[in-house]
């Protein structure tokens, strides 16, 4: 509704991909690990939007941050740089903004 078309949707969960394909049959839905994606293929799309896994930062979990293998913020930043979108939307849980992860947020760009 905001005027964007989906260039590609990358999702590691096969069942989620099936749901996306059923609900959005015209979308290019790829069942893949975003760590293996080369973002240069979509260079210059208008918006990079992603919801990276929240368990590393959720107060309902162990809050392992960068010690959790599901921490995909560095990968998302790599893709953002490769794609070069002028607009970015990253979604996560409020725990990510907590004081516990202040150092993580400050140093995030150094990991890319």
Q: What is the pLDDT of residues 3-40, one digit of tens each?
A: 889 999 999 999 999 999 999 999 999 999 999 999 99
Contact (CB, 8 A) for 28 and 8: yes
Q: Give the model's pLDDT for residue 102.
A: 92
- In this structure, what token pair is assigned to residue 99? 């004081």
Catalytic, 54? Answer yes
* Distances, alpha carbon 20 to alpha carbons 5, 66, 79, 88, 99, in Å: 14, 29, 21, 21, 35
The pLDDT, as a whole number, for residue 111 is 54
Taking alpha carbons only, the member of 7, 91, 1, 93 closest to residue 44 is: 7
Whole-number mean pLDDT of the chain? Answer: 91
pLDDT beyond 90 at 2:
no
**At the topology level of CATH, where does 9-111 sit?**
Rossmann fold (3.40.50)
Sign of the C-alpha dihedral computed for residues 27, 29, 35 and 38 taken in this order: negative
Q: Where are the domains of the chain?
A: 9-111
**Which of 6, 17, 54, 112 is labelled catalytic?**
54
């Amino acid at each position: 509704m905001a005027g964007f078309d989906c260039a590609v949707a990358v999702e590691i969960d096969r069942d989620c991909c099936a749901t996306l394909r059923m609900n959005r049959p015209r979308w290019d839905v790829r069942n893949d690990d975003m760590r293996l994606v080369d973002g240069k293929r979509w260079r210059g799309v208008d918006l990079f939007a992603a919801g990276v896994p929240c368990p590393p930062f959720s107060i309902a979990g162990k809050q392992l941050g960068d010690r959790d293998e599901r921490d995909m913020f560095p990968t998302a930043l790599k893709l953002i740089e490769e794609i070069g979108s002028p607009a970015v939307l990253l979604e996560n849980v409020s725990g990510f903004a907590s004081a516990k992860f202040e150092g993580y947020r400050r140093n995030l760009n150094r990991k890319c």
